Structure formats: structure tokens, C-alpha cells
Structure 1
Amino acid sequence: MEDKSGVTARRRFIAATVVDAVGNGIYVPLTMLFVHALTGQPLTAIGTGLTLAGLGALAAMPVVGVLIDRHGGKRVYIGALALRAVAFALYPLATSYPAFLAVALTVAVAMWASAPAQQSLIGDMAAGAKRDRLLAWNRSLRNGGMGFGALAAAGMLAAGDGGHLAAALALAAAFAVATVLAALIAVRAKGTRSAPAETGGYRTVLADRRYRRLTAANFLIGFAYTAQAIAMPVFLTRATDLPDAMAGIVFAVNTALIAGLGVPVARLMSRARRGRGAALGTAVFALSFAAFAFLPALDGTAAVVAVLAVAVVYTAGELIHAAPAESLAVQAAPDHMRGRYLSVYQLSWSLCRTLAPMLLGLLLDAGTWQLWAALAAAVLIGGAILLSADRPHPAPTASRAMPVPAAA
């Protein structure tokens, strides 16, 4: 039977995750409007600044991995939350362009550092099936919190000119609360993870052929996830002649299903090998993309019903793929180098998100079916790579991983 401290640690982690996700939900959908209202900078300058901030965050990820390995996922996660609390409190004062760039870079680095730090923290808190369940809860709560935060942001903006300032203060408060909650999580001391002689650098990560395959597969499959926010709204309103609100409805359906079904589906998928389960998700993704390609042939009520049905299939692909894929990435990383491994894995997401607007835009301009054919090919290749990397884990050795207790 599990000790009470382990249950308490997970509850505090879940609470911090929810508050963190609500904050992201307030900020992410309204970034351009939010920054423009607070700083007064032109939209073109803001877009350039946010791009530079994203590139800076991308360059910072290797350092994040080193910090996680040296100080533990918990401390890095606390630092990322605290940085965002301070940055959002300072946003209303960032009226000059250099000040805006500094705040935007701080926010970007902290946001991108949170994912590997969270995953590493979960790796320290739990092992095996308990780790998989906690990862599933983390994904579901992130989606639910993001949706709630987006609704909260809409309410703040409806309040008028003071809504953006209220949003900045709410963000600062939310991340401050999340920082405190994360600091209260009890985990094993970092020093017990491995002996100093067992540490290694990024050369060790890059030499791991299996993890390279997992990272390459994640990069390709990541385009399926970015398509929802970047390509689907344009496609639905331009190619299918549906009202603009349809894109928001599809997003709401996706968010609700992931928040509600993420944990049950993860529990179901835990019965299969992780690589095979994730590859099955890519096949469902490809099926939904094939269906999207035929939507322009429909109109009226039939088109609306078909879009919602295909959105459900797409979400099923996400649910089936996400749980085993994330578990595989965490499980395949040696405990003493988990920060570096997960930072490299996060780089594949970040690089995909950086390239996606340009590549998906070119595919949208190429024609109706080219986008979906390219996405289907990408995810199927990614799924094939996952299958090639799906082999039983070797037995832990002193040089690879130390046993991980549930909590301390």
C-alpha cells in the first residue's frame, strides 16, 4: 500500500499543473493582442520579437537539460513558474522594445523549460504504471486548464480596456500560486539519483540510436498536433465554406474529449507495448487526414456533421498516440540523464512548432488535398519509426538507471 506522502505529493503536483495550465490558457490564445495592449508596440514588431524570443528559448533548451540533471526537475520547474510570475507582473511596464524583448524571452524560455522539467519531476515521483497514470493526468489537466483559461481570458477582454491589465495580474498571481504548490511537492533528494561518475553529456544522448529514432518520430508526428491550431481553421473556413465559428467548435470538442478521456484511454493503452500503441495512434491520425481531404465535397448540414465526426477521429488519434509516446520518451531516458534526454525530445516539439507555420502555409496554398496527404505521410513515417524503436527495455544497471521510489 502506498504511503500517504506519495499521494500528497501527487495531489500537489496535480494542483500546480492545473494552475499552470490555466495561466497558459489565458496567455497563449491572446498573445499578440495581450502584448500589444500592454506594451503599445506595433504588431509587426511584436511578431518579430516573439519569434526572436522563441528562437532564444530553442537555443536555451540544452542548458535546461543540464540544469535538470544537476538540480532535479522539481527545482527547474519551480524556477520556470517563478520566472513567468515575475515576467507577467513586469509586462505592463515593458513599454520600450528592449524591455519587451527581455520579458518575452523570459516567458518563452520558462514556458519551454516547463515540459521537460515536469516530465523529469514525474519520473522522480513515480515509476511504472503509476508514472504512466501521472503523465496521463498531467496531459488531461493541461488540456482542461487551457480551455478554462481561454474562457477566463475571453471574460477579461469583455471587461474593456482594463481587461489586459487584469489578465497580466491574473497571470502573475496564477504562476506565483503554482510556484508555491510546486515547492511543496516532496520528492527524493537529487543526490540519490546517481553517482557523479555516471553523468554524461549531450554526446551520450546523441549516440543513443533508439532515442534518436524516438525524437525523429516525434518531430514528424508533431505536425499532426500543430495542424489543429495552424491549418485546420484556415482549411475549414476557406476550403469547406463553413462559418468561422466552426474552427472554435472543433477546438472545443478536441479539448473536452482529451480532458475527459485522457486518463481512461491512457489506462487502456498501458496494456499494449508503448511503441505499438503510439504507432496505432498515428494510423488513426492518418485516417482522419484522409477524411479531411474529402470534406470540401460536402456542404450544409452534412458538412457540419462530417467535420465534427472527423474531429472526433482526429482526437482519437491524439488520445491513442499521446499517452504511450510520452511514457516511452520518459521511460527510455536514463534516470541520471533524464533532463538532457527530455530536453532533446522537447527540442523536436519546439523545432516542429517553429517550422510548422511556414510549411503548413505552403501546403495550404498548394491545394486542397496536398496538406492532408503530406500530414498523413509524416505521421505514418513517424509511426513506422516508433515500431522500429519498440523493443523491450534492457534490465537496469548501475550505469544506466537507479531504482525510482514512488515518492519521498
Structure 2
Amino acid sequence: MRSTSPSARRRFIAASFVDAIGNGIYVPLTMLFVHALTGQSLTAIGTGLTLAGLGALAAMPAVGVLIDRHGGKRVYIGSLALRAVAFALYPLATSYPAFLAVALAVAVGMWASAPSQQSLIGEMAEGAERDRLLAWNRSLRNGGMGFGALAAAAMLAVGGGTGYLAAALALAAAFAAAAVLVALVPAQRDTTAPETTVRAEGGYRDVLADRPYLKITVANFLIGFGYTAQAIALPVFLTRDVGIPDAVAGLVFAVNTALVAGLGVPVARRLIRARRGRAAALGTAVFALSFAAFALLPALGGTIAIVAVLATAVVYTAGELIHSAPAESLAVHAAPDHIRGRYLAVYQLSWSLCRTVAPMVLGLLLDAGTWQLWAALAAAVLTGGALLLHTDRTRSARVTAQPVAVPA
């Protein structure tokens, strides 16, 4: 059974935390950051970022192949180094073609990070130890995102272009430091089998033929709208339809981040013995309950509405805590070792595609009325939960041992 030393796990977790701090700095500032550094119009920036995102989506199949050929560690280091170089070059990307090139590099690095990181965890540990490492990684990443958001706010307080230049340099340094930390993690990948033998054992045709895994991926796409709604739709709904102050809407995000960071590992430990598909489906039911509560909030007012918003945010976070740990573990455990990169690349596509179309879909639902958004989200997550339950009945969450390659 594969296992890593405590020092190797600490280096990996530290790298993941620093990586998350970088994302926490960049994501809230994206439009302002790029506008301040490149001088491009907001319309041009929005178009360029969309094109970069689509380019990164198209690159995901190649990322899966690279992971299977060279291991999650090398690809994760590459994704971090790519972002470090890109952010260092952002202040120089004053022409539109240069901006597009840098934006594409950032997008590819961001989308390649998750499957390569999950694959590295799969290479480092198995069974319950793998679940614990996934839980620690997820929990500290949420903490890192929150810390990065605070750092972004501090850089904005500097004012002028100085703050954005400092953000670019801080991002380059953060991702470079994370790459160095990952490089210090001992390699766990089996290098005894010839690379040609590994390549011959499977490809994307095998992934597409694995119907249970495709159901897991489709379920993740549907449930992903419940996650993206928090950042895209919820602030608008709370301020426009419920009528609460902007500060309270920000507090909802802070409560969610703090609870996920603080309770992620304990909740994951409680769920280790449960079947992953069933536990993740239970999380979708709690999600749907919170969406029903959100739909009722516009009927309230005053202090009662604020208290109800915070209580509903806690229920929403409980759904996230119950769903996220077993869902991620299911995706990693159900992927065969020898083509795990391709499997996780397909799984990551479901997240990426959801995040690409979510702004348009959620915007249309917000314009439709006060309850339509939450009804649609509840239907989406419950459908995803039903798919996970069906997968659990037809195929238990398996851990596939890597086939032994017999030399010719």
C-alpha cells in the first residue's frame, strides 16, 4: 500500500495552501487586476478571459494524457510554474495579443491544477489515508482562498497601480514557491513499467466507455451550479430581492469559508466509513433544503431576514461539507490508477464547463423572478444526487489496483 512520510504530506499541503492563497488574491480582482495592468477595456478583457477559458477547456484532454505519461507531480509543478511566469509577465502585456497569451497561460494553469493535484494525491496514498489527505487539502485550500481574499483587499487599499503591481508580483512569487514545495515531495509514481506499456493499456475511449464514471461526471456538472451560485447569484439575490445590506451578503461568504475550512476535516473523517455515493447524495439533499429556504427569504424583512439568511447559509454550508468530501474521493477512487489522469481530466471538465456557462444560466434565472433560481438549482442538485445513488447501486466506489505490466 502506497504511503508517504509526514514531512512529504506537510510539503504537499503547504504547497496547496500557498496555491490557494494565490487563487484567493486573483479571483476576486480578476477584471480590475487585468484592467489596471494592461489598460484594456472591460469589454475586451471580458471577451479575452472567455476565449482563454474556452482554450483551457480544449486543453484538458491533453492535460490528462500528460498526467498519465509523466505523473501528477510533474504536471502540477508545470501548472504552478506556468502561472508564476504568466503573472510575472502580466504588467508587460499591454498589447491585446500579449494579454490573450498571458490570460490563456493563466487559465490553462488553473484548470490543469485540480486534476494533476488530485492525481498526485492518488499516487501518494490509498484508502482511508487518501481520503484524509483529500480532506486536509480541501479544508486548507478554503482557508487559503479566504486568506488570499484578505490579502487582495489589503493590496487594493494601497491604491493606484502600485497595489495591482504588488498583486502581480505576489502572485508570481506564491505560485513559484508552491512549485518548489511540490518539487520537494518524493515521487510515488511507479516508474518500473515502460511508458509505452502504460500508454497501451487505456485511453479516453476507456473513460467514455465507463458509464458509471460518466454518471459521476454528469452529476458533478449539475451539482456544480449549486456551488457557483454562491459567488455569482447569491449576493445579487440577497441585496436585491431580500433587501439586506451589502455587508451582510459579504458575511455569508465569510461564514461559509470559515465553516468549510474549520469543519472540513472532522466531517470528512465522520464520512470515511460511509459509501461515497450515498454520502455525496445526502449532501445534495441538504443543498436542496437550503435552496428552498432561500426561496422563502424575500417574504421576510428586518432583523428576522438577516438571522434567517445566516441560518440558511449554515444549512447551505452543511450541504457543501457533506457532499464535497465523498464526491471528490469518489472521483479519485473510481479512476483506474494507470489512466487516472484522463479520468480526472474528464471530471474536471464538468467543473470547468459548469463555471463557464453558469454566469449566463444563473443570470437568466435571476431575471426570471425571486424563486425560479432556487427551484432550478434544487432540481439540478437533486438530479445529480439521484445519479450518484444509481451509480452506488450499480457499482460500489471501487479502488482499482494498477495492472502489473509484464515486460516483453
Same structural fold, with TM-score higher than 0.5 when normalized by the shorter chain: yes
The alpha carbon displacement at 1:189 in A equals 3.6
The alpha carbon displacement at 1:270 in A equals 1.0
The alignment partner of 1:191 has SS state of: coil
- CA gap of 1:193–1:380, structure 2 versus 1, over 3 A, is farther
Distance 1:372 1:203 in 2: 37
Matches of residues 245-324 of structure 1 in structure 2 within 5 Å?
A: 245-324=247-326
- CA gap of 1:397–1:262, structure 2 versus 1, over 3 A, is closer
> Structure 1 residues 5-14 or 372-381, which shifts more?
5-14
Matches of residues 394-405 of structure 1 in structure 2 within 5 Å?
A: 396=400, 399=403
Distance 1:130 1:313 in 2: 28
Q: Is the 8 A contact 1:333 1:342 kept in 2?
A: yes
Residue matched to 2:182: 182
Identity rate of aligned residues, in percent? 79
Q: Give the counterpart of 1:392 among 396, 401, 406.
A: 396
- CA gap of 1:394–1:175, structure 2 versus 1, over 3 A, is closer
The alignment partner of 1:239 has SS state of: helix
Q: Is the 8 A contact 1:19 1:174 kept in 2?
A: yes
TM-score, normalisation: structure 1: 0.95
Q: Is the 8 A contact 2:2 2:124 kept in 1?
A: no
- CA gap of 1:38–1:198, structure 2 versus 1, over 3 A, is same
> Structure 2 counterpart of 1:196, which letter?
V
The alpha carbon displacement at 1:268 in A equals 0.5
Q: Is the 8 A contact 1:87 1:172 kept in 2?
A: yes
Matched, 1:203 2:202: no
- CA gap of 1:190–1:97, structure 2 versus 1, over 3 A, is farther
> Structure 1 residues 188-197 or 25-34, which shifts more?
188-197
Q: Is the 8 A contact 2:292 2:378 kept in 1?
A: yes
Residue matched to 2:338: 336
Residue matched to 2:232: 230
The alignment partner of 2:317 has SS state of: helix
The alpha carbon displacement at 1:197 in A equals 6.4
Structure 1: runs of 5+ lacking an equivalent: 403-408
Distance 2:199 2:112 in 1: 26
Alignment size in residue pairs: 400
The alignment partner of 2:242 has SS state of: coil
Matches of residues 8-407 of structure 1 in structure 2 within 5 Å?
A: 8-161=7-160, 162-192=162-192, 195-196=197-198, 199-390=201-392, 391-393=395-397, 396=400, 399=403
- What do the CA deviations read for 1:276-327 (whole angstroms, capped 9, x no partner)? 0000000000000000000001111000000000000000000000000000
Distance 1:396 1:49 in 2: 41
- What do the CA deviations read for 1:45-99 (whole angstroms, capped 9, x no partner)? 0010000000000000000000000000000000000001100000000000000
- CA gap of 1:197–1:114, structure 2 versus 1, over 3 A, is closer
TM-score, normalisation: structure 2: 0.95
Distance 1:373 1:395 in 2: 36
- What do the CA deviations read for 1:29-55 (whole angstroms, capped 9, x no partner)? 100000000011111100100000000
Q: Is the 8 A contact 1:80 1:113 kept in 2?
A: yes
> Structure 2 counterpart of 1:302, which letter?
I
Distance 2:342 2:132 in 1: 23
Residue matched to 1:405: none
Distance 1:398 1:189 in 2: 11
The alpha carbon displacement at 1:271 in A equals 1.9
The alpha carbon displacement at 1:392 in A equals 2.4
- CA gap of 1:192–1:298, structure 2 versus 1, over 3 A, is farther
Q: Is the 8 A contact 2:255 2:313 kept in 1?
A: yes
Q: Is the 8 A contact 2:222 2:380 kept in 1?
A: yes
Distance 1:392 1:232 in 2: 35
- What do the CA deviations read for 1:229-286 (whole angstroms, capped 9, x no partner)? 1110110011101112222111000000000000000001112100000000000000
Distance 2:73 2:201 in 1: 19
